[in-house]
Chains A and B, each alone.
Chain A
Amino acid sequence: MSNAIHAAGLIKDFGQVRALDGLDLDVKVGEVHGFLGPNGAGKTTTIRILLGLQRHNGGSVSLLGGDPWTQATELHRRLAYVPGDVMLWPNLTGGEVIDLLGRMRGGVDTRKRAELLERFDLDPTKKGRTYSKGNRQKVALVSALASKVELLILDEPTAGLDPLMEAQFRECIADDRDIGRTVLLASHILAEVEALCDRVSIVRKGKTVESGTLAELRHLTRTRIAVEVDDPSPLGAMTGVHGLQVTGSQAEFEVDSDRIGNVVRMLAPLGVKSLTSHPPTLEELFMRHYEDGESRT
């Protein structure tokens, strides 16, 4: 089995509302997979189905080669989950929660636990009700990362962390990737996904709209170009140019990645005084799908 997670045409209805509308997701063993989408796109619902907390109404899904609903107990021994909203028991200390959840999975690596507490600067003797949101998140993260499991399912795990801790988190995930752990990272922080993920799936309104490596996805996108030319007027007629904005002799526009050569060739006769271009970021890719979808509906 080379896929840790495989979902095809996943459908989930809550009464009249269709939360997942034919979602596809493939996560290969040993990769860090970014699961991107705006709020309410269906990321958390997908994860809950993967964890056997909710049933799907249609499509197929498998997790670590098993059925997430009927084989939940066995499968959960091999994975650790960090929810987006970490709630702790008010009268249990952080250390107790870390051990409790770890023992309920495949066991706790005590050496790693100590190292992670140090790294995340977390006091394990405080009671659950006294932790801030960021510290609750750290408790769940330490527990998941220190558990002896092969798959991590993380739902916006850095939502409450400060930039320093976010950096620590990235290092931890990079380390985990090196030891061959599979990670599903749901997020809408694109810099994080760009820095960590081998492959990415983008979901919107319960559907997967894009999936692939970052390089593949960039190929589908547009490069942003800003130029200063003698006469910007012919730009509008060029094929492959989008979103043209002209102020005097300044022009800004986006170019389809496969037409950059053509456009540059056609720019030359216009008397280029300056030219800057920057490659598409995941953010732009994401925004493009998001906005396109919005304008279509």
Chain B
Amino acid sequence: MRYCGKACAKAVLTGLREFGIQINLIVPIMKKYFLFGFLIVIIMFACKKEKTEEPVTIQLNFTSLVADNDTILPGTTTNITANATGEGLVYTWTSTGGGNIIGSGTKISYATTPCMYGNYEVQCEVKDKAGSSQSKAITIRVQ
């Protein structure tokens, strides 16, 4: 047992010595890999998406296009209002058949010229920041 102990210790010491030499060689490499692995772990944690709450988007809803008076005399004006909900809304106004659009945004005035009789259409297109759009038209009767 004593002999065995001695022999074992010797073998271990020899092995360690030999192994020690290898360790000396490997240690710098291990250090490098350790640092590299450590960095990867940090980056992984850093890049991990945190769970955030989805923003509530308000869907575009063009509810109405209303004129103060939809029947007017030639040479007079009427206000037209667009009611819509959504985000970053842009209102585009067009008239067909004549008349002047005065103003911009949610409310405009529509002016007719003298001798202007008949039905005239005013269109409004509403576009939100996502690019969705909705249109409505209203007919103004001039008589």
Q: Do A and B bind each other?
A: no
B interface residue numbers (CB < 8 A to A) = none
Chain A residues with a Cβ under 8 A of chain B: none
